[in-house]
Chains A and B, each alone.
Chain A
Amino acid sequence: MLYDVQIDRLPCFALFDLKGPATDLAAWADVLPAFAKPANTLTRQNGVDLCFTGPDRWILRADIAREDALIAALRPEKAPPEISITRVSDTLTFFRITGPDAAQVMSIGCPLDLHDSAFGPDAVSYSEFFGLKALVMRCEGGFDCAVEQSFGDMVADYLSRATA
C-alpha cells in the first residue's frame, strides 16, 4: 500500500434535493436542521445533514432507514410552488476515505483545497472527483465523496488502482 487509507463504499443514504429560499423550506418542513448561512457548509441535527451546496440549493442526507419518515415529514408531492423537494437517494454512491493519507488520496482526483484551514469540519461542496461531478464533505477521520451511482464501480476501480 502506497497510502495509509481505508476506503469504504457506503450503503445507500436517504437523500433529498431541496430547492428554494431557506425561509420557505424551513417554514414548510420543521424536521430540517437549521439552515447554514455560509456557502458550502452543512448543519447536523439528529443524524440529518443539511448541505448548502448552491444558491437556494440544498442536499439533505440521512440514514436510509429514515427515508420513509422523511418523505412523510417533507411531503414532496405537496410542496408549494416556491420550493421543490425531490428524493434522490438512489442517484449517488458515497465513498468514505479515512486514515492518515485520506487527504492525499482525495487530492489525486479532486482539485479542492482540502486543508483544514480551507475545508473545515462543516465544509461540503460539489466539485470534481476523477473528472466526475462529486459531492465532497468531511467525515470522522477523512472524507465522504459521492458520485453519480452509475459511476460507482468505475470510481471504486480508480480508487483501488490509485492506492494499490
Chain B
Amino acid sequence: MMNIPCPFCGSRNEAEFAFGGPVKPDRPDPNTVSEGEWVAYLTQVPNPLGPVQERWWHVKGCGMWLTIWRDTRTHDIVEGPADAE
C-alpha cells in the first residue's frame, strides 16, 4: 500500500483514492504532426520503467484531484502535489 499526499488532507492511504491514469502529453494538432506521431498520441499510454506522472482522485476523501510523480520500480512518490504537506 502507498500513502499518497493530498493537498487538503495530508498523507492518506491509497485505498481512499481512485487512479486517474498517467498524465498524457498535450494533444497535438493532427494537421501538423506526422501520421505516426498522431497514432502514437492516440494509442500510446506513458508506461516508463521509472518516474511517471499520474493523476489520482481522492474520491473517498475530500474529492480533490492531484498529480504526483511515482517511480514504477519502487512505488516511491518522488514528487508530490506542489502544495501537499
Q: Which residues of A contact B (CB under 8 A)?
A: 39-40, 53-55, 57, 111-112, 125-128, 133-134
Contact = CB atoms under 8 A, between A and B. Distances in A.
Nearest to A133: B60
A134 B61 CA distance: 8
Interface residues of B, number: 13
A54 B59 CA distance: 11
Interface of B: 8-10, 12-13, 15-16, 59-64
Contact of B9 (A39, A128, A133, A134): A39
Contacts of B15: 111, 128
A54 B62 contact: yes
Given A39-B8, A39-B9, A55 B64 contact: yes
B59 A133 contact: yes
Tell me the dominant secondary structure on chain A's binding face.
strand
Contact of A55 (B12, B16, B62): B62
A57 B16 contact: no
A12 to B, nearest CB: 23
B16 A127 contact: yes
Contacts of A40: 8-9, 62
Contacts of B9: 39-40, 125
Given A57-B62, A112-B12, A125-B62, 20 more contacts: A39-B9, A39-B10, A40-B8, A53-B62, A54-B63, A54-B64, A55-B63, A55-B64, A57-B63, A111-B13, A112-B13, A125-B9, A126-B60, A126-B61, A126-B62, A127-B12, A127-B60, A128-B15, A128-B16, A133-B59
